[in-house]
Each structure stands twice: as C-alpha cells, then as structure tokens.
Structure 1
Amino acid sequence: MAVAQENAHPEGRSSSPFWTIARRDSLAGFLFIAPQLIGIVVFVLIPLGLVFWYSLHEWNVLANTFTYTGAQNYRMLMEDESLLEVLGATAIFSAGLVIFNLSLALLLAVLLNQRLAGIAIFRTLFFSPVVVSLVAWTIVWGFLLQKNGGINGMLLTFGIEGPNWLREETTAMISVIVVQVFKNVGLNMILFLAALQGVPKELYEAARIDGAPAFKQFRRITLPLISPTILLTSIITIVGSLQVFAQIAVLTQGGPGLSTTVLVYYLYQQAFQFHFFGYGSTLSILLFAIVAILTFAQWQMRKRIVFYES
C-alpha cells in the first residue's frame, strides 16, 4: 500500500526534474551567444528599423518638426537626377577597388609565401598600413597628390609634369582607389597568405613529378584550394568599398563635380549638410539593399566557384 502511494502522482505532475542536462546545455549556449544577440538587436536591427521609420518622415532639425510624408522620399529617390551619376561613381570605385585589391593581395601573398631570409620583415611592412590611422593615412596622401606634392615632385625629376591628381575627373577616382587599395591590401594579403600555407605540399610535389608547369599548378591546385578565402575576401572588400567615406571626405569632397561622390558620401551630404534627414534615411535603405543583394548573390555563387575539401 505504501509503495502504491509512493508511486502515485497527482495529475499533470512530471516525475523528471526541470533542469535536465539538455536544458542546462541549452541555457549555457544561449548565455554564450546573448552578448552578440543583444549587440545585433541594439546596434543593427533597432537602428535599421528607425532608419526605415525616418525614411517615411521629413525631419527638420532647425524648425524642430517631424512630419509624416509617406512614400514621398522614395519618389524623390526615383526622380533624383544626380543619383544615377552617384551610383555610377560608386560602381566604378567598388569595381576598381575590388579588382586591384584582391589581385595585388594575392600576388603579394604568393611572393611572400616563399621561404627566404628576412621575409617576415616584408610581411610586416606590407601589413603596417592596415593599423595606421585612416585619417592620418588619407591626409598624408592628400599632400602627396597635390599639384605641387610629392608625387609630382618625383615625376618632375624624370621630366614628367604630373596632373592635379585630386582636381581632375580622369585622375581623381583613380587616386582615391589607389589610396584605399594601399591602405587595406595588407589585410587581404594576410588572409591569402594563411590560405596558401594551408595548401598541402604533397599536391605540388605530385604535380611537379607529372611535369606540370608553375602556372598550371597555381590554376589547378592553388586557386581551387584557396577559393573559400577568395570568397570571404571578396565579400569583405565589396561591402567595405560601399562604406568608404573618410577617404572621399578628406581627399576630394566628392569632386570634381560628382565624379568621386559615392553613395555613402552623397547620403552624408543630403542628411548632414543639406539637413534632409528623411531623404538621407531613404538613401541608407538603398545602400542596405545594394549590400544585401550583392552579398546574397556572392553567397549563392559559392557552389560554382568555391571548392570544398571532402
């Protein structure tokens, strides 16, 4: 009788403890990712929602008014005659930066992957611009690229009269791209270098035994095995190219004309110089959409261009 009473439980009560091992593990996992989740919510999702809300309004800071305008800012976006030129400059800047950055970074990584004396010094030299202050780096290059700056002074020693690099449409964009490439090429170089050092040496030895030339080894062995790193660096570089602001603001202020006015700088002008905060928020939504589409497209292409070892 005592045993029967002991085994009897009221209806709805479970005999198993609440804090099972699975629940404790789940709680520990949630606690570990909680700081990141909170950061994403506070610094990404909430600001993104607020930007969309602001894009539906016109906020006049001077008059202290906040007026709902519906889709008016989006109609302005479609009718903005300067926007196509701005998007064209953004595309040129991003394409030039990505192509030159990734190509130069891969070339430097291949050269610095050699086992030579003092190679670590060269790796440090090429990486050092990454840790230099962005504003200081840009200001120094601004002096070098002036009409009477260091670049033209060096060219003059060879009898070549250089242009005003930052004040001519044909050279301003090239100058900004070069400055940005030299600033961040070291980061991609390190990523490529780490990927190259992870390629098994046995594959190269087998290819040499079969008589494969160096270029064929690079195309058939190196590129496929470092393709995940190529995908990573391309995504990072493309997203970074669409967010460049300080270099444009310091070097060219978007000029001459709109030739170097990329989307981020145009957004800044509309919101903080002309005080069209609603339209600036709409441009932010456009920038977010462009970054999201490009990132999604690259991620979808990974099955075709990325080789994964089984």
Structure 2
Amino acid sequence: MTRTDTRVGRADARPAPGRARPYWTTRRRDQLTGYLFIAPQLFGSAVFVILPLILVVWYSLHEWNVLAGTFDFVGTENYKALADDANLGAVLRATGLFSVGLVVFNLGLALLLAVLLNQKFRGTVLFRTLFFSPVVVSLVAWTIVWGFLLQDNGGINGLLDTIGVDGPNWLRGETTAMISVVVVQVFKNVGLNMVLFLAALQGVPGELYEAAEMDGAGRMRQFWRITIPMISPTILLTSIITVVGSLQVFAQIAVLTQGGPGTSTTVLVYYLYQQAFQFHHFGYGATLSIVLFGIVLALTVLQWQMRRRWVHHES
C-alpha cells in the first residue's frame, strides 16, 4: 500500500520535476499588493518631505539671490553667519517664551475645560461647541479680528474703560505684545486639545473612582492618582502636537505684530521668513530652517523618551 501525504498544499509546494517554479507566487503577489497600497504615501513622503530636506541642506551651502539671478556655492559661510548673528539670541529667546507660554496655558486650560465639561449638567454640548468653534475658523480671519480688539482704541480697552481701567496698547509693548500673541493662539486652538482630553476622560473606568472613594480618597487625590495616569498617553500626544505647533507659528506674528516691537515677538519662523523673502538671503534662510528642524526634532525625541517615566503602561 502506497503511503500518501495528507498535508494540505504539499502537492503544490514543489513544482513537478522538470518544471520551473513560477515567479508570481502567492507570497510575491501579496508583497506587491502591500507595496502598491503604501506607494502613494511613500511617494508623497519622498517628494514633499525627504526631497525638500535634501534641497534645504543644499541651499544652505549656497548664496541664492533671486533678484540678481545668482546661485553661488559658499560652503559653510551661512553657518558662520549664523554663529555671528547678533539677533539670533533674541529670536531664540522670543521663540522659547512663546512656546513655553503656549504649551503651559493651552494644555492647562484645555485640561481644565475638559474636566468641567465632563460633568453631567445642562448645556455641556453647547459649551463644547463654543469652545471648539474657533478651531474651524480661518486662522487669518481670527487673527485680524483679534488685531482690531487689541488696538489702543480697540474692543478690549473699550471694555476696560467702562470699569475705569486705562488699558495699554497691547501690541506695542514688549511684554504685552508677547502675552497678546500667546493668548490669541491659546484661544484659537484650546478647543482641539480640550476635545482630545475629553475623549480620554470618558474612557477612564468609573470603577476606579468608586474604589478610590471607598478607600477615602478625595477629589484631588483621585485626579492626581487616577485621572492623570490614565490619560497620560493623551497628555503626551497633545504636548507633542502643541510644542511642534508653537515652533511653527507665523500668521499670528505676521498679522498682529510683524515681529515687533523690536524683536520681542520675532520667533524663529518669522525671522526665517524675513531673511529669505524680505531680505532675499535664501541661503541663510535655509540655514535657519535647518536650525528649526533640529530644535523640533530634539524636543520631539526628548518628549518621546520621557514617556517611559510618566506615561501609564509604558515600560
């Protein structure tokens, strides 16, 4: 009696003697299908991310004068100019102040609003809509309206005048200009982080609060011992998004203060724009963009590495 192999697919696994194995096997067809699915994303990343990064590095080694039509190789001269730039320190200081102010107030206010709107009372849907609506408003339109409100004779000072307070010229004082820009940006995007926090809060199991309450834990202890650890992944996400966004702010500065007074609100992105498109130093502008990319990359990696210390369930 002949012994037969009962394993499925054994007869198809090897080609018959004298026959070449077909090239388009099932495995290769599956691989091709996978590559076709990710091809649009790979193409977009290569054309709009990797290639521009390479070109920026290439441009930083040249002095490109569009008006004169010259494109001269200068090597590391732009990087030497970066080290000798007397304005760079003030620009980095303004960038840091704006980023810290935006991240602290945006995340703090968003979390506070999310905790309040997570309670069961009438009108929560209306308040959620009101706080989220600025997110979908045009950034330029939002900034122009706030520009009128913050003028010396604008709406903010008009309200203060009704209670006998003489308001400052918000956009012309070195301190008040930075505060104004931060506040405008916080109110514009706080709704987005609020919604993310609200979704995270609604995912925290109620049994944890019930058990903590039975053990005698108060509201504040429950918040720090249960709520914060459970929504820590969302805190990480929102912090990365907010930090990166704070380093890329441009329209608010361009519309409200144009970097003034002096360089008090000249953040790195706006300074890059000035060098490249106002002063036509495209090579130096490319060098500044590399500095910006390095700062964003370093802060993102730092936040990602720190997640193991304070993000729940990370090891």
Using structure 2 for the length normalisation, give the TM-score: 0.93
Determine whether 1:68 maps to 2:73: yes
Task: Determine the structure 1 residue equivalent to 2:95.
Answer: 90
> Structure 2 counterpart of 1:282, which letter?
T
* Aligned counterpart for 1:139 among listed residues 140, 144, 158: 144
Task: Determine the structure 1 residue equivalent to 2:155.
Answer: 150
> Structure 2 counterpart of 1:119, which letter?
T
Cα gap change, 1:32 to 1:7, in 2 (>3 Å):
closer
Task: Determine the structure 2 residue equivalent to 1:3.
Answer: none
Structure 1 portions without partners, runs of 5+: 1-5
Q: Once the two structures are aligned, what percentage of the paired residues are identical?
A: 74
Determine whether 1:302 maps to 2:311: no
Task: Determine the structure 2 residue equivalent to 1:44.
Answer: 49
SS in 1 for 2:165: coil
Matches within 5 A, 1:192-271: 192-271=197-276
Say if 2:91 and 2:267, in contact at 8 Å, map to a contact too: yes
Task: Determine the structure 2 residue equivalent to 1:102.
Answer: 107
Determine whether 1:22 maps to 2:27: yes
Query: 2-side partners of 1:270 and 1:234: how far apart?
Result: 30
Say if 1:228 and 1:308, in contact at 8 Å, map to a contact too: no
Question: How far apart are 1:32 and its partner, in Å?
Answer: 1.9
* Aligned counterpart for 2:17 among listed residues 8, 13, 18: 8
Say if 1:255 and 1:261, in contact at 8 Å, map to a contact too: yes
Task: Determine the structure 1 residue equivalent to 2:62.
Answer: 57
SS in 2 for 1:194: helix
Per-residue displacement from partner, 1:96-144 (whole Å, max 9, x unpaired)?
A: 0000000000000001111222211110100000000000000000000
Structural RMSD (CA): 1.4
Cα gap change, 1:208 to 1:72, in 2 (>3 Å):
same
Task: Determine the structure 1 residue equivalent to 2:181.
Answer: 176
Using structure 1 for the length normalisation, give the TM-score: 0.95
Question: How far apart are 1:298 and its partner, in Å?
Answer: 0.5
> Structure 2 counterpart of 1:172, which letter?
A
Task: Determine the structure 1 residue equivalent to 2:8.
Answer: none
Question: How far apart are 1:309 and its partner, in Å?
Answer: 7.9
Say if 1:73 and 1:278, in contact at 8 Å, map to a contact too: yes
